[in-house]
Amino acid sequence: MHKPEAHNNKEELSNAGEWDHLDDDVLMAQMAKDDEQAFALLMNKYHSKLKALGWRVLFNDQAAEDAVQEAFLALWRTRHKWEIGGAAKLSTWLYRVTINRCVDIKRKRRVKIDIEDTTMSVEAKGDDILEAKHRQVRLDAFLKELPEQQALALRLYYLEENSIPAIAKSMDNTEDGVRSLIKRGKANMRQFGDELSGLI
């Protein structure tokens, strides 16, 4: 089954509003039955928010769109495994997957720039890349142990260097709410002790 394209006209997808009032869990339950219409409604619901999030990380419209489409494809592939009513919130899951795709795109860009940049020594570039990758891997491991919203806020703030206002808009939260997530996330990460030194 092909993944349906995102649509801008919600009325075309909803059979005169049949699905408009349904929440994410209901639509995910329909997706588990391979319902493409339910999937298209979820795409329509979250596309603009995820696109804005992707743009704030990548500053490139097409790259942001690519990240969003990959996130939606991941959602479609997950439809039969999604736990309805579980702890995972769909919006947070989509934000996290989109951010991960954006990070992958940025890494590929950096590698391309490093290859093309002949003004720096290969040895120096290699050391920088290895150090950055090592930091990324270590921090990713710590973030996986945190609640999803705390991990997402920390990732956006420390890894992607987004501002508090930008993160608040991306996560559909208040600035105080984002600060609280970052504060609680850092507090939870203190359990790792000295291993966290230099990462945040």
pLDDT band at 36 (very low <50, low <70, confident <90, very high): very high
Contact 63, 72 (CB under 8 A): no
pLDDT digits (tens, 9 = 90+) for 79-104: 999 998 887 789 889 988 998 898 88
Q: Out of 11-15, 92-96, 104-108, which region has the weakest mean confidence (pLDDT)?
A: 11-15
Contact 117, 125 (CB under 8 A): yes
pLDDT band at 25 (very low <50, low <70, confident <90, very high): very high
Its pTM stands at 0.59
The token pair at 118 is 């002949």
- For residue 77, how many other CB atoms are within 10 A of its CB? 10
The token pair at 158 is 């420390």
Residues 164-179: b if buried by 16+ CB within 10 A, e if exposed: bebbbbbbebeeebbb
DSSP string over the chain: -PPPPP-S-HHHHTTTTTTTT--HHHHHHHHTTT-HHHHHHHHHHHHHHHHHHHHHHH--HHHHHHHHHHHHHHHHHHTTT--TTSS--HHHHHHHHHHHHHHHHHHHHHHHHHHH-TTS-HHHHHHHHHHHHHHHHHHHHHHTTS-HHHHHHHIIIIIS---HHHHHHHTT--HHHHHHHHHHHHHHHGGGGGGGTTT-
Q: Sketch out the chain's domains with CATH numbers.
A: 17-116 (1.10.1740.10), 117-200 (1.10.10.10)
Amino acid type, 56: R
pLDDT digits (tens, 9 = 90+) for 42-54: 999 999 989 988 8
